[in-house]
Amino acid sequence: MSIAIDQALLTRKERQAREYATPSAPPTTVPVIEAIATGVPDLVLDQSVAADWMAGHFIDSEQQARIRRIFRKTMINTRRFAVDPLAPRPHAPSGTSATIQDRMHLFYRHAVPLAVDVARRALDGVDPADLGLLVFATSTGVIAPGVDVAVIEELGLPRSVARLVVNFMGCAAAMNGIRTASDFVQANPDKKAMVLCIELNSVHVFPIEDVDDAVIHSLFGDGCGAVVIGANRGAEQAEAGSIVIRDKFTHLFEATEDGIAVGVHHDGIRCELSENVPKYIYNGVAPVVGDILRRNGLRQSDIDVWAIHPGGPKILLESARSLGLPATASSTSWAVLGEFGNMSSVALIFVLERIAGEAEASKPISTGVAFSFAPGITIEGFVFDVVSH
- Evaluate whether 92 touches 99 at the Cβ level (below 8 Å): yes
> Of 330, 353, 329, 333, nearest to 341 (Cα)?
333
> Of 258, 162, 265, 151, nearest to 204 (Cα)?
265
What is the distance between the alpha carbons of residues 20 and 12, in angstroms, rounded to a whole number?
12
Chain centroid to Cα 130, Å, comes to 23
Q: What is the predicted pLDDT for the residue at 129?
A: 93
Q: Place 24 in a pLDDT band, splitting at 50, 70 and 90.
A: very low
> Of 223, 220, 274, 185, nearest to 76 (Cα)?
220
Contacts for 208 with CB less than 8 Å, ≥ 6 apart: 54, 57, 217
Q: What is the predicted pLDDT for the residue at 3?
A: 52
pLDDT at residue 215 greater than cutoff 50: yes
Average pLDDT over residues 346-360: 91
Average pLDDT over residues 264-275: 80
Average pLDDT over residues 180-198: 97
Give the torsion through C-alpha atoms of 82, 88, 89, 91, to 10 deg: -10
pLDDT at residue 372 greater than cutoff 60: yes
Find the range with the poorest average confidence among 83-92, 138-147, 374-383: 83-92
pLDDT at residue 17 greater than cutoff 50: no
DSSP code, position 141 = -
Beta bridge partners of 35: 228
Find the range with the poorest average confidence among 91-100, 178-187, 373-382: 91-100
Identify the residue with better confidence: 221 or 266. 221
Average pLDDT over residues 222-227: 98
Residue-wise pLDDT tens digits, 114-134: 999 999 999 999 999 999 999
What is the distance between the alpha carbons of residues 114 and 105, in angstroms, rounded to a whole number?
15
> Of 34, 203, 199, nearest to 125 (Cα)?
34
pLDDT at residue 28 greater than cutoff 80: no
Report helix, strand or coil for 305. Answer: strand
What is the distance between the alpha carbons of residues 114 and 151, in angstroms, rounded to a whole number?
10
Active-site residue flag, 171: yes
Q: Which helix (H) or strand (E) holds 379?
A: strand 378-387
Pairing of strands 30-39, 78-81: unpaired
Residue-wise pLDDT tens digits, 277-305: 999 999 999 999 999 999 999 999 999 99
Identify the residue with better confidence: 365 or 333. 333
pLDDT at residue 13 greater than cutoff 60: no
Share of the chain above pLDDT 70, in %: 88
Beta bridge partners of 70: none
Residue-wise pLDDT tens digits, 58-115: 889 999 999 999 999 999 999 999 999 888 655 555 556 688 888 999 999 999 999 9
For the chain, give the mean pLDDT: 89
